[in-house]
């Protein structure tokens, strides 16, 4: 048999191609950024393309070498988008630092990644000062986000102090003869650390290839369905798994982008949505919980943008939230993913065999699941006795693999707790998949409650409690119990002006859960602590209630 070879060009998948495509085809598409003083700044894609190449050219002139890490400490705005494409265009690796972490942790992460340069918003310089001694950058490039002049320290770093440059000056003086750094499609473009809820954070490094594939996948009509006619509002911080990869995907298709800057309070977001109505928006559930409460507490003050669809994930999305938004014509599509999975590994859409087949109850129940796996990502459920059937009932660890799933961690030996022998990522999430392929996340392994030898899902309890009309938020944790090993304790935030007590809530849950699953302890609290990515911080709650004493 004569050998046959593919005739296709071996052109590498490249982020630079996406930048060139967007710059050439959509020069008039808009990027709107909210500045610290709440005014809006507009850039066209044409300007963004020119400025991004200028950033890459300036970084090369400053001595950036291939593979050097350039950290960013920035809110969501146009210059951060320039970093997304400009740093890799120069051959560097963008490392988004999480500005909500403790300064010591940010310094540790920057050191572990061996970040060489830092690009920082001027309004975040006080935060930078708090970890500057933990990790010495060679150069600090200050983005004048507030418009105030930058105090430049010209020349080379000396006495351990970095040189300080003005981002806008660098761009203005960048050499015009810029050439993209040569690269292989597997070369790194960006890195991101997990939030380290269990031990030290771990670094995930994305490649040109993984980022391009993830962008193409995300834009598909059954998933995020991004098009040149969309207006996309990424509320998810650009340091949280690259704002779920959406800035890459949205600019690839020429969508208008609206960045909220540092203004993430519900009122600010609702104001922004009136000025620049989005067709697609993304964020963690706590953002949307707070937003819908502000919206409903002020009838007539704002309008929900017509036809808005939201992608919500990063934590379980309560069914009650999906129903609340539906009343206002907004769809909430739940996705599941991790920093390790680029991150979108599943998202809700209605499969054709279900169209017209579901009652309203079934429809919302299905929307409260974590969607179906995206193309190129393989999923399986590993139970105690081996692989589980996709029957909706058999529960085990969710494991994934694919070309945009990490196969290791930066500078860390692979461990059996993270990867299986046959090459799958262990997610640490407990889930079932049904016959249609919809994933139901039961819990994180460490959040499951083991009561008298039976497992209770904290996620199910939280969702049910948050369906009570007087409840704003709820988080359920396991608390050690002398007889039952663990019992659930619910922390509940009432809606302003609403009243409900523990007995009423227990009665409310009684219809939906077996009596042994209903929390014996219900604590009313003013707020539930949040993690650095805005999720309910259950580790903190477990610490708070570690000495909890059950009545004899
Ligand atoms: P961290 O939460 O540690 O900051 P990630 O942002 O990478 O890190 O979060 C990944 C985790 O978030 C998943 O392992 C899972 O536990 C949780 N998660 C993400 N999406 C969902 C979802 N739709 N439902 C329930 N849990 C989710």
Which pLDDT value is given to residue 348? 98
Residue of 361, 363, 302 lying closest to 328 (CA atoms): 302
Residue nearest (by alpha carbon) to ligand 1 atom 10? 338
Answer positive or negative: Cα dihedral of 116, 341, 368, 351: positive
Residue 427 near ligand 1, beta carbon < 6 Å? yes
**HSE (CB half, 13 Å, CA atoms) of 367?**
23
- Say what the pLDDT of residue 274 is: 98
Q: How far is the CA of 400 from the centre of ligand 1 (A)?
A: 14
pLDDT in tens, 405-414: 999 999 998 8
Q: Place 157 in a pLDDT band, splitting at 50, 70 and 90.
A: confident
Closest atom of ligand 1 relative to the 240 alpha carbon: 6
Q: How far is the CA of 94 from the centre of ligand 1 (A)?
A: 22
pLDDT reported for residue 196? 65
Q: Is 253 in the pocket of ligand 1 (CB under 6 A)?
A: no
Q: Is 370 in the pocket of ligand 1 (CB under 6 A)?
A: yes
Sheet holding 203-207, edge to edge: 163-166, 139-143, 115-121, 69-73, 93-96, 188-193, 203-207
Nearest CA to ligand 1 atom 7: 338
Mean pLDDT of the chain: 95
Distance 343 CA to ligand 1 centre (A): 9
- Distance from the alpha carbon of residue 375 to the mean position of ligand 1, in angstroms: 19
Looking at residue 263, its pLDDT comes to 98
- How many Å separate Cα 486 from the centre of its chain? 31
pLDDT of 487 reads 93
Closest to 92 (Cα-Cα) out of 210, 189, 191: 189
What is the CA(165)–ligand 1 centre distance, in A?
A: 37
* Residue 209 in contact with ligand 1 by CB distance below 6 A: no
Three-state DSSP class for residue 232: strand
Q: Is the CB of 236 under 6 A from ligand 1?
A: no
Atom of ligand 1 nearest to the CA of 427: 14
Q: Is the CB of 430 under 6 A from ligand 1?
A: no
Pocket lining: 399 vs ligand 1, CB cutoff 6 Å: no
The pLDDT score that the predictor gives to residue 160 is 82
Is 511 a residue whose pLDDT tops 90? no
Question: What's residue 512's pLDDT?
Answer: 85
What lies within 8 Å, CB to CB, of 221 at 6+ separation is none
Give residue 315 CA to ligand 1 midpoint distance, Å.
5
Per the annotation, the verdict on 47 as an active-site residue is no
Task: Grade residue 199 by pLDDT with cuts at 50, 70 and 90.
Answer: low
CA atoms within 13 A on the CB side of 67: 4
Tell which one of 204, 316, 337, 409 to mutate to probe ligand 1, the residue whose CB is within 8 A of the most ligand atoms.
337
Question: How much distance in Å is there from the Cα of 11 to the middle of ligand 1?
Answer: 34
Q: Quick one: average pLDDT of 125-147?
A: 97
Kindly give the distance from the C-alpha atom of residue 38 to the centroid of ligand 1, in angstroms, as a whole number.
31
Question: Which two tokens mark 332?
Answer: 């909430």
User: Of how many residues is the chain composed?
Assistant: 552
Q: Does residue 194's CB lie within 6 angstroms of at least one atom of ligand 1?
A: yes
| Residue identifier of the C-alpha nearest atom 24 of ligand 1 | 316
Residue 21: predicted pLDDT:
98
- pLDDT of residue 198 exceeding 60, the answer is no
pLDDT value of residue 167: 98
pLDDT tens per residue, range 19-51:
999 999 999 999 999 999 999 999 999 999 999
pLDDT of residue 378: 98
Asked if 340 is an active-site residue, the reply is yes
Mean pLDDT to the nearest integer, 446-458: 89
Higher pLDDT, 483 or 44: 44
Residue 153 tokens read as 């320290």
Token pair in block for residue 321: 């939230």
* Ligand 1, atom 4, residue with closest C-alpha: 195
Does the C-beta of 333 come closer than 6 Å to ligand 1? no
Give the span between the Cα atoms of 427 and 142, in whole angstroms. Answer: 37
Residue-wise pLDDT tens digits, 224-266: 999 999 999 999 999 999 999 999 999 999 999 999 999 999 9
Strands 485-494, 471-481: pairing is antiparallel
The sign of the CA dihedral 298, 302, 306, 309 is negative
Q: 202 CB under 6 A from ligand 1?
A: no
Q: Is the pLDDT of residue 187 over 60?
A: yes
* Cα 307 to middle of ligand 1, angstroms: 27
The residue whose CA is least distant from atom 13 of ligand 1 is 338
Give the pLDDT confidence score for residue 347 in this predicted structure.
98
Which of 25-34, 183-192, 400-409, 504-513 shows the lowest per-residue confidence on average (mean pLDDT)?
A: 504-513
**Is residue 181 a contact partner of residue 189, using CB atoms and an 8 Å limit?**
no
Q: Per-residue pLDDT averaged across 100-104, rounded?
A: 93
Check whether 552 has a pLDDT greater than 80.
Answer: no
327 is catalytic: no
pLDDT value of position 197: 59
Segment 334-389, tens digit of pLDDT = 999 999 999 999 999 999 999 999 999 999 999 999 999 999 999 999 999 999 99
Backbone angles phi, psi at 417, to 5 degrees: -80, -15
Tens digits of residue pLDDT in 286-323: 999 999 999 999 999 999 999 999 999 999 999 999 99
450 is catalytic: yes
The distance in angstroms from the start CA to the end CA of the chain is 80
Whose tokens are 């507009």? That residue is 42
Give yes or no for residue 316 CB within 6 A of ligand 1: yes
Active-site residue, from 276, 319, 340, 473: 340
List, in order, residues 6 or more apart from 363 with CB less than 8 Å away: none
**Predicted pLDDT of residue 178:** 93
CB 195 near ligand 1, within 6 Å: yes
d(CA 66, CA 383): 43
User: Which one is predicted more confidently, 75 or 384?
Assistant: 75
C-alpha span between 540 and 91 (Å, rounded): 40
Whether residue 343 is preceded by a cis peptide bond, meaning omega within 30 degrees of 0, is yes
With a cut of 80, say whether residue 430 has pLDDT above it: yes
Q: Is the pLDDT of residue 483 over 90?
A: no
Q: Give the rounded percent of residues in the chain with a pLDDT score beyond 70.
A: 99
Q: Decide: 317 and 330 in contact? Cβ < 8 Å.
A: no
């Amino acid at each position: 048999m004569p050998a046959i070879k593919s005739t296709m060009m071996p052109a590498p998948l490249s982020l630079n191609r996406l930048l060139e495509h967007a710059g050439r085809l959509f020069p008039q598409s808009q990027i709107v950024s909210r500045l610290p003083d709440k005014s809006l700044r507009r850039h066209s894609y044409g300007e963004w393309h020119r400025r991004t190449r200028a950033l890459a050219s300036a970084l090369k002139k400053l001595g950036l070498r291939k593979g050097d890490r350039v950290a960013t400490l920035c809110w969501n705005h146009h210059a951060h988008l320039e970093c997304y494409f400009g740093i890799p265009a120069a051959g560097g690796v963008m490392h988004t630092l999480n500005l909500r972490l403790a300064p010591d942790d940010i310094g540790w992460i920057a050191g572990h990644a061996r970040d060489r340069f830092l690009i920082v918003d001027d309004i975040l310089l006080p935060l930078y000062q708090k970890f500057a001694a933990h990790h010495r950058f060679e150069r600090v490039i200050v983005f004048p986000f507030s418009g105030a002049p930058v105090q430049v320290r010209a020349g080379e770093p000396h006495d351990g102090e970095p040189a300080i440059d003005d981002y806008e000056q660098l761009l203005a003086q960048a050499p015009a003869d810029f050439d993209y750094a040569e690269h292989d499609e597997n070369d790194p473009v960006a890195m991101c650390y997990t939030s380290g809820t269990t031990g030290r954070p771990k670094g995930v490094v994305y490649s040109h290839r993984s980022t391009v594939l993830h962008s193409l996948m995300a834009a598909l009509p059954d998933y995020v369905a991004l098009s040149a006619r969309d207006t996309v509002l990424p509320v998810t911080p650009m340091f949280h798994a690259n704002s779920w990869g959406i800035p890459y995907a949205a600019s690839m298709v020429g969508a208008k982008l609206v960045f909220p800057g540092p203004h993430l309070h519900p009122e600010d977001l609702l104001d922004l949505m009136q000025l620049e109505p989005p067709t697609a928006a993304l964020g963690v559930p706590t953002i949307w919980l707070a937003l819908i409460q502000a919206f409903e507490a002020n009838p007539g003050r704002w309008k929900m943008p017509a036809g808005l669809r939201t992608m919500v994930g990063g934590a379980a999305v309560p069914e009650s939230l999906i129903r609340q938004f539906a009343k206002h014509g907004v769809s909430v599509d739940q996705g599941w993913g991790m920093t390790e999975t680029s991150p979108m590994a599943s998202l809700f859409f209605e499969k054709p065999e279900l169209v017209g087949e579901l009652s309203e109850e079934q429809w919302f129940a299905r929307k409260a699941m974590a969607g179906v796996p995206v193309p190129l990502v393989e999923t399986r459920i590993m139970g105690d006795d081996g692989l589980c059937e996709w029957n909706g009932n058999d529960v085990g660890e969710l494991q994934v693999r694919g070309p945009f799933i990490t196969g290791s961690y930066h500078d860390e030996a692979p461990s059996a707790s993270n990867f299986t022998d046959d090459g799958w990522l262990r997610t640490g999430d407990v889930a079932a998949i049904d016959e249609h392929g919809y994933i139901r996340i039961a819990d994180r392994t460490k959040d499951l409650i083991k009561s008298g030898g039976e497992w209770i899902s904290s996620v199910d309890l939280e969702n049910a409690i948050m369906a009570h009309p007087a409840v704003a938020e709820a988080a359920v944790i396991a608390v050690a119990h002398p007889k039952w090993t663990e019992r659930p304790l619910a922390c509940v935030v009432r809606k302003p002006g609403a009243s409900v007590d523990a007995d009423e809530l227990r009665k409310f849950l009684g219809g939906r859960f077996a009596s042994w699953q209903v929390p014996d302890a219900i604590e009313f609290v003013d707020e539930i602590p949040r993690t650095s990515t805005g999720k309910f911080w259950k580790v903190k709650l477990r610490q708070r209630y570690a000495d909890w004493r059950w009545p004899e």
